[in-house]
Structure 1
Amino acid sequence: MSRPEPLAGRAVVVTGAASGIGRALAVRLAGVGCPVAVADVDEAGLKQLDLPGPVLRRPLDVRDAAAVTAFAAEVREWAPAPLGAVFNNAGVAIGSSVLGAVPEDDDWLWEINFRGVVNGVRAFLPLLVAQDAGTIVNTSSVYGLIGVPYQSAYCAAKFAVRGFTEALRQELRGTGVRAAAVHPGGVKTNIARNARFRTDPEGRGRTHEQIAADFDAIARTTPERAAAIIHKGVDAGRARILVGPDAYLVDALARLAPTRYYDIVAGLRR
């Protein structure tokens, strides 16, 4: 398959656009002339998003399949240019042991991180197929490449996004539509601060703020850098987009030591 058309000047859709990687993607792509349709459950955050050019802003809970489908219909009528990419990026986190998991918290995460991606794909894929062009871009994680203690729900959802996207990519062979999975490493966003923690899952007595600060200390990539990598990866037609040096390290460890990678990761953390 030949390289896709560059995203510059083409319409794009970004969910989870009120903060973090989604916000940085919206800003970057609007800056290269993309009409941008942005959605997030955080309506106040969307209103604060300052973007040049045509913008469609909609509060949206990606768990609501009917609402996502209605958003896609609105984008189809609004878009002043062909649709270049749909970034299914909305996501949340929790921290818990499997033994201490709260089922309602796990369900909340799975509905957003996996079902929200599926809803986005099902709503927007017909638009891309009809024009026989464009890319579905689904945000997984390095936690979709390896299993990590106290992140069972998050890993499950991100592995599911990876598998769903890879299956979709094979179904799209022979068409002009692509599917790409994004695997960010540590990115300096508010996901840890907005996560659900009932107690410190490691039993160290840390507060929610201390857990978030520990995440910030190992997060090496800015949202702006992440957006640049993702943008370039989509323009290059990549099926798997690794974000950050830690993502490349994790990917290599998963391949070279598929049952022992966490021994190495834990040693590096220490």
Structure 2
Amino acid sequence: MSRPEALVGRTAVVTGAASGIGRALARRLSAAGCPVAIADVDEPGLKEASADLTGPVLRQVLDVRDAAAVTAFAQTVSEWAPAPLGAVFNNAGVAIGSSVLGALPADDDWLHEINFRGVVNGVRAFLPALVAQDSGTIVNTSSVYGLIGVPYQSAYCAAKFAVRGFTEALRQELRGTGVRAATVHPGGVKTNIARNARFRADPEGRGRTHEQIAAEFDAIARTTPERAAAIIHKGVDRGKARILVGPDAYLVDALARLAPTRYYDIVASLRRSRR
């Protein structure tokens, strides 16, 4: 495989760009001289995000569940892009907190359509252009929950494991080309994903409110979106196939390898000590 090309000066596409990691990525890449095409279903947040960017920007309100709309967005990007396409960051994501027994199928379907099907839609829409130019990187956001199973996160884990498997299969298909595929596994990042998640009731039965659960997530999240964006950017520039974000991601990855059936005993113990 050819040597990786730096993203500086090349066009970047970022979904889920209205907040969190996506917004930080767009800001960082724009500051590095990349024309940036940003998309999100959150129109007000997307406008705010575009105001942060210093270079050429294309802004598109987009629901990644809509394959036709994502394909149309890819065509718009192709017509607009002032530089060759460097990377497509399929980053949009949502969360749910529920037990398997108490899960609502409609909630699970909503999450899977965004977190997994949205990634597939993004890959299928932009891959032809990348293959045609024989360069660039598909960057799909999974999670540490795509490395281990976590109670009350069955839908999220299923989608993130699916992103991991899909991307790793794609990476093998791209052998011998100049196009790469990378999977991002963030640990706890200080974003609004927990606050924007769907919660019907405390899945652990402890009577916590949605806000209390989100506050607990914030308390253990150690990585800022800006730091996550820097790690991802550097990982793509170095041609990494798997990008772990945050010290907790490295810990989870090691536990999954060393104790594949008992990792959660250790994780649960660490969580209790932090509480």
Provide the secondary structure at the position in 2 that maps to 1:48: helix
The 5-angstrom pairing of residues 121-160 of structure 1 reads 121-160=123-162
- Ranges in structure 2 where 5+ consecutive residues have no aligned partner: none
Q: Distance in 2 between matches of 1:46 and 1:64?
A: 18
Match of 1:171 in 2: 173
Is the contact made by 2:9 and 2:33 (CA closer than 8 Å) also made in structure 1?
A: yes
Match of 1:219 in 2: 221
The 5-angstrom pairing of residues 66-105 of structure 1 reads 66-105=68-107
Q: Distance in 2 between matches of 1:38 and 1:249?
A: 32
Match of 1:19 in 2: 19
Q: Distance in 1 between matches of 2:142 and 2:5?
A: 24
**Letter matched to residue 44 of structure 1:** P
Is the contact made by 1:14 and 1:22 (CA closer than 8 Å) also made in structure 2?
A: yes
Match of 2:8 in 1: 8
TM-superposed CA distance for 1:19, in Å, is: 0.1
**1:234-253 deviation per Cα after TM superposition (whole angstroms, max 9, x unaligned):** 00000000000000000000
**Letter matched to residue 198 of structure 2:** R
Of 121, 124, 139 in structure 2, the residue corresponding to residue 119 of structure 1 is 121
TM-score, normalised on structure 2?
0.98
Q: Percent identity?
A: 89
Is the contact made by 1:3 and 1:235 (CA closer than 8 Å) also made in structure 2?
A: no
In the alignment, does 2:273 pair up with 1:264? no
Provide the secondary structure at the position in 1 that maps to 2:162: helix
Is the contact made by 2:152 and 2:203 (CA closer than 8 Å) also made in structure 1?
A: yes
- Ranges in structure 1 where 5+ consecutive residues have no aligned partner: none
TM-score, normalised on structure 1?
1.00
Q: Distance in 2 between matches of 1:245 and 1:32?
A: 25
Is the contact made by 2:94 and 2:115 (CA closer than 8 Å) also made in structure 1?
A: yes
Q: Distance in 2 between matches of 1:220 and 1:3?
A: 32
Alignment RMSD:
0.4
**Letter matched to residue 168 of structure 2:** E
**1:167-219 deviation per Cα after TM superposition (whole angstroms, max 9, x unaligned):** 00000000000000000000000000000000000000000000000000000
TM-superposed CA distance for 1:2, in Å, is: 3.5
**Letter matched to residue 127 of structure 2:** L
Q: Distance in 2 between matches of 1:134 and 1:127?
A: 9
Q: Distance in 2 between matches of 1:53 and 1:194?
A: 30
**1:111-134 deviation per Cα after TM superposition (whole angstroms, max 9, x unaligned):** 000000000000000010000000
**Letter matched to residue 193 of structure 1:** R
Match of 1:184 in 2: 186
Match of 2:207 in 1: 205
**Letter matched to residue 240 of structure 1:** R
Q: Distance in 2 between matches of 1:164 and 1:109?
A: 17
**Letter matched to residue 201 of structure 2:** T
Q: Distance in 2 between matches of 1:190 and 1:131?
A: 36
Count of residues in Structure 1 that have an aligned counterpart in Structure 2: 270
TM-superposed CA distance for 1:99, in Å, is: 0.3
In the alignment, does 2:42 pair up with 1:42? yes
Q: Distance in 2 between matches of 1:106 and 1:46?
A: 26
Q: Distance in 1 between matches of 2:47 and 2:235?
A: 28
Instruction: Give runs of ≥4 in structure 1 deviating > 6 Å.
Output: none
TM-superposed CA distance for 1:3, in Å, is: 2.7
